[in-house]
Amino acid sequence: MKTESIYTMRYALCFSLVALVVACSKDKKIKLSDIRGVEHITGLEFSESEEDTLLDYLRENREGFDSMRALHLPYHVTPALYFDPRPGNFVPKKRQGPSEWNIPGEVQLPSSDADIAFLPVSDLSTLIRNRKITSTRLTKIYLDRLKRYKDTLQAVVTITEDLALRQAARADEEIKAGKIRGPLHGIPYGIKDLFAVPGYKTTWGAEPYQEQYLADTAAVVRRLEEAGAVLVAKLVSGALARGDVWFGGKTKNPWDLKQGASGSSAGSGSSTAAALVAFSIGTETLGSILAPSGRCGATGLRPTFGAVSRDGCMTLSWSMDKAGPICRTAQDCALVFDAIKGRNPGEGDRSATDYPFFFHKRKDLAGFRIGYFKKLFDKDSSNTGSNNARTLEEFKKLGAVLEPVELPDSIPFKGFDIILRAESGAFFDELVREHRERLMSEQDKGSRANSLRQARFIPAVEYLQANRFRTVMIEKLHKLFNSYDIIIAPAQGFRLSLATNLSGHPAISVPNGFDKKGHPTAVILYGNLYDEGPLLEAAWLFQMSTEYEEKHPELFVK
C-alpha cells in the first residue's frame, strides 16, 4: 500500500508539473527546484533521491506534451471519456403521454406592439395559427425592440435581421398553405452567443473571439429551425460563460439598469424579460440559466444533463454544461424543451440522449410527493424571506404536502471546482498557451482568464479523485431525489446549485414576487433525472394561481 501511495503521488506531481514546464523553453531543463515548487503547491513531499528519479521522466513527459501541442484540436472534438449522470441500477420514472399543451383556441390581438411582444409563446402561437398576425409582422416587432433597446440593456451581440425575415416569410408561406410545424412555428427567439450559426459571428462573449465565424450549425438551432422558429438575435454570454460582463460591457437587469443581469446567460434572461424576444436559449454549468432567470423575472428551465444536445456550442465543462429555454412561463419552457430535446444521428455531443417527455394539464398537485429544503428556507435572511414563505403556502393551497429534506452530508464541496476548471482549461488550452486570455477585460482573481490559468495547476489525479467523490454524491442525491417528484428550494443555495449541476438533475426557476427594491425574486424547483414533467407542471400550476410572471419591467412596456 505504501508503494502504491508513493506512485500515486508521483503521478500527481508529474501531471501538475505541466503548469511549470509550459513556461519553459525547449532548451531549458527541468530542475529539482521546479519539482520542489510543485511539491509545495500540491502539498506533497519527496526525498532527494525520489526527486532525482523524477527528472528524466518529467522531461519525457514534456516531449509528449509538445507533440500534442504541435497539432490543432477543433473545438467540437470531445474527450474519449464522457459523463453519465445515472446512478447505479437507475430506473427512470415513467409517465404517460401524450402531452396536453393547453394552448388557447382563441386569443385577442392586443392593440400595441409592446403588449404583443410580452405575450407568452402559447398565445403568440394561437395568433399566428389563426392568422391574426403574421410571423413577418411579429418578427419586425421584435427586431424593432432589439434595435431600440440594444444599447440600453447591452444584452444583444448580433441582430440576425436578414435570416429572421427569410425564416419569417417562409413560415408565413407554410402557414398560409396549411402546413403547421407546431406551436413554435413563426415564433421569434434569441440564442446565447455560444451556439454556432453560419454567416454570423459566434463570439463566446470574449475579446479573443470577437471576429470568430464558425461554419457549423448548432444542434439546438437546427431543432428550432425544423420547428419553424425564427432566429432574430444572438444574445450576450458573459465572457467565456462567466458572469454578465462581456467585451461590449455589462448586461443589465431590465428591472434595474444599475444592476447586472447575473449569470452567463445574462443576454437570454435580460432579453426575454424585456420582451426583445419571445423566448431564448441559454446554457448552464453552475447557475447560468437559473440565476439570470431569477434576477430578471423570467422562467428558466435547466434540463437534465444530456437532455439537449450541445453540438455546435462552446464547451466550458464537457461533464457539466447544459442547454435549456428561458421563457415567460413554465408552459412556454415545456413547449421549447419539447422541440430542442434529444439527439440526432451524426451529432458530436455523445452525452446527449433521448427519453420520453410529457407535459400534463393538472388541476392540483395531489399525487406528487414534494419535499422542501427547510433549513435553507429558514436561513434565508434576505428580504425574499416573506416571498418564500408565501410561496410555500401557495404550493400547499395547490395540494402539496411539503416534507422537510436536507442535503446529504460528508460531501467535499470545496473540491468540486476542480472538475469545471480542469475541463475548461483543456478546452481553452491554446488560448492560454498563446496568452490570448490576456486580451480579456476582466483579469482579477475571480475572472475567467485567471480561472483558466489556474487550471494548469490541477493534478490529473485530483481531477479523477474529485470525479470519484462526485460518484459518491450522485448516489446520495439519487437516494434523496428518487423519494420525491419535486423538491423546492430558495434561489439562494450555492451548494445545492453546485451539487445538482454536478449530478445532472433538472431544475426550474420561477418568479415568486419582488424585494423591497422592486427586483424580482424566485424560487427553484428541482426534480429527478430525465423527469422534467413534474417540475414544469407544478411551476405552471403555481403561475396559474399567481401573477408574478405577468409583471413586466416598466421601462420596456412602452
Is the pTM higher than 0.85? The answer reads: yes
d(CA 461, CA 137): 57
Closest CA to 485 of 367, 389, 392: 367
Burial class from Cβ neighbours inside 10 Å (0-12, 13-18, 19+) for residue 169 reads middle
Q: What is the pLDDT of residue 493?
A: 82
| Measured CA distances, 18 to 29, 291, 318, 433, 549 (Å) | 13, 35, 21, 11, 50
- AA identity, residue 151: D
Question: What is the separation of C-alpha 430 from the centre of its chain, rounded to a whole number of angstroms?
Answer: 24
* Residue carrying C-alpha cell 470568430: 212
Closest CA to 310 of 336, 285, 332, 338: 285
Burial class from Cβ neighbours inside 10 Å (0-12, 13-18, 19+) for residue 33 reads exposed
Question: How many C-beta atoms surround the C-beta of residue 63 within 10 A?
Answer: 9
The CATH code that applies to domain 113-409+469-556 is 3.90.1300.10
Contact residues for 215 (Cβ-Cβ < 8 A; gap 6+): 196, 198
Q: What is the pLDDT of residue 345?
A: 86
One pLDDT digit (tens) per residue for the chain, 558 residues: 333 443 344 444 444 544 444 444 444 678 888 888 888 888 889 888 888 888 888 888 888 888 988 999 998 899 999 899 999 999 999 999 999 998 999 999 999 999 999 999 999 999 999 999 999 999 999 999 999 999 999 999 999 999 999 999 999 999 999 999 999 999 999 999 999 999 999 999 999 999 999 999 999 999 999 999 999 999 999 999 999 999 999 999 999 999 999 999 999 999 999 999 999 999 999 999 999 999 999 999 999 999 999 999 999 999 999 999 999 999 999 999 999 999 988 898 999 999 999 999 999 999 999 999 999 999 876 667 799 999 999 999 999 999 999 999 889 999 999 999 999 999 999 999 999 999 999 999 999 999 999 999 899 999 999 999 999 999 999 999 999 999 999 998 879 999 999 999 999 999 999 999 999 999 999 999 999 999 999 999 999 999 999 999 999 998
Question: How many C-beta atoms surround the C-beta of residue 92 within 10 A?
Answer: 13
> What cell numbers appear for 312 in the block?
455546435
Is the dihedral angle over the CA atoms 534, 536, 538, 541 positive or is it negative? Answer: negative
Compute and round to an integer the Cα radius of gyration of the chain: 24
| Measured CA distances, 62 to 18, 26, 57, 422 (Å) | 8, 9, 9, 19
Closest CA to 551 of 41, 118, 202: 118
d(CA 218, CA 231): 13
Q: What is the pLDDT of residue 35?
A: 85
- AA identity, residue 482: N
Q: What is the pLDDT of residue 8?
A: 40
Contact residues for 462 (Cβ-Cβ < 8 A; gap 6+): 12, 42, 415, 418
| Measured CA distances, 46 to 32, 36, 40, 43, 207 (Å) | 11, 9, 10, 10, 42
Strand blocks (E) in 244-297: 245-246, 249-250, 252-253, 256-260, 279-284
Strands 486-490 and 520-526: antiparallel
Q: What is the pLDDT of residue 272?
A: 98
**Contact of 284 with 509, CB cutoff 8 Å:** no
Closest CA to 478 of 536, 409, 529, 414: 529
d(CA 24, CA 58): 13
Q: What is the pLDDT of residue 382?
A: 67
- Which DSSP string corresponds to 295-340? HHT-EEEEPPTTSB--TTB--S-TTT-EEEEEESSHHHHHHHHHHH
> What cell numbers appear for 28 in the block?
531549458
DSSP 8-state class, residue 244:
S
Closest CA to 252 of 267, 242, 239, 237: 267
Q: SS3 for 364?
A: coil
d(CA 159, CA 379): 43
DSSP H helices in 43-134: 48-69, 113-117, 121-129
d(CA 118, CA 122): 11
For residue 325, list its beta bridge partners. Answer: 281
* Residue carrying C-alpha cell 450555492: 494
* Residue carrying C-alpha cell 392586443: 110
Q: SS3 for 286?
A: coil
Q: Checking phi first, is residue 54 left (phi over 0); if not, alpha (psi -120 to 50) or beta?
A: alpha
Q: SS3 for 259?
A: strand
**Contact of 196 with 313, CB cutoff 8 Å:** yes
